Amino acid sequence: MDFTLREGERLDDLVRDGMRIIQRPDQFCFSIDSVLLAHFVRIRKKDRIADLGTGTGVIPLLLSAFGAEDVAGIEKNPVMADIAARNVAGNYRERQIRIVEGDYCHPAEFSPPGAFTSVVVNPPYREVGRGALNDKAGVAAACHELTASLEDVFRAAEYLLAYGGRLTMVHRADRLCDLIAAGRACRMEAKRLRFIHSHEGEPAVRVLGEWKYGGHPGVAVEPPLIVHEKDGSYTREVLEIYGK
């Protein structure tokens, strides 16, 4: 592997397939949410996958480890698009992954309609005005809907997906009603949900969801995913997801 770090960057271990990943804390570093999302995605042979707001490219890299062969990472921020491209090259994944610098709020600028069978996204969670904004612009945009709203995410997926395609997302559990409503406004039905809990017995903090473009009503709620044991360590399932 060949990684050249620039000022402010660090190199972390991605664990899966021995991959490593360049990150830049003043922009944004991936969290466990991205790892759980990539694991939740159902990958089918010949899927054409788009990852919206790819950041460091962590989700495409993980998807490639799980068998995906055609992934486009879409990233508006040129700094992060450059990091993502270097992460792909450094892990020798150019055959499976391409990085596209573009704004997924304007998908027609980089893709024809219906070009993908699967869209994946770990979007900004917080509405503007809810919670304090981070003083680092890159982190703030990743956390708050400054550059893309929930409705923008579904509209982009509606444009990019072929009819019958799937959108897979991780989001805050307390925004489930917003997720269902925004999906239906774009002809997408939730088909699979899994709630993420920090500890057993606590309310859900995140939800993993899969929507089908043109799907019929009817959703399967999968067993909850518990992240931590009582002592704060990761549960066996989470360790397995991490490849440990």
Side-chain-facing half-sphere of 109: CA atoms under 13 Å: 10
pLDDT, tens digit, for every residue of 190-237?
A: 999 999 999 999 999 999 999 999 999 999 999 999 999 999 999 999
Instruction: Please name the residues in contact with 146: beta carbons below 8 A apart, sequence gap of 6 or more.
Output: 124, 128, 140
Helix (H) or strand (E) holding 193: strand 188-199
pLDDT reading at 117 higher than 90: yes
**What pLDDT band is residue 134 in, cutting at 50, 70 and 90?**
very low
Share of the chain above pLDDT 70, in %: 91
pLDDT at 132: 47
Question: Which domains occur in the chain, in start order?
Answer: 10-241 (3.40.50.150)
pLDDT at 144: 35
32, two tokens: 């466990």
pLDDT, tens digit, for every residue of 9-25?
A: 999 999 899 999 999 99
pLDDT reading at 142 higher than 80: no
pLDDT at 126: 60
pLDDT, tens digit, for every residue of 33-62?
A: 999 999 999 999 999 999 999 999 999 999
SS3 for 165?
Answer: strand
Share of the chain above pLDDT 90, in %: 86
- Best CA proximity match to 114, nearest among 72, 162, 146, 68: 162
pLDDT at 1: 76
**What pLDDT band is residue 128 in, cutting at 50, 70 and 90?**
very low
Identify the residue with better confidence: 117 or 132. 117
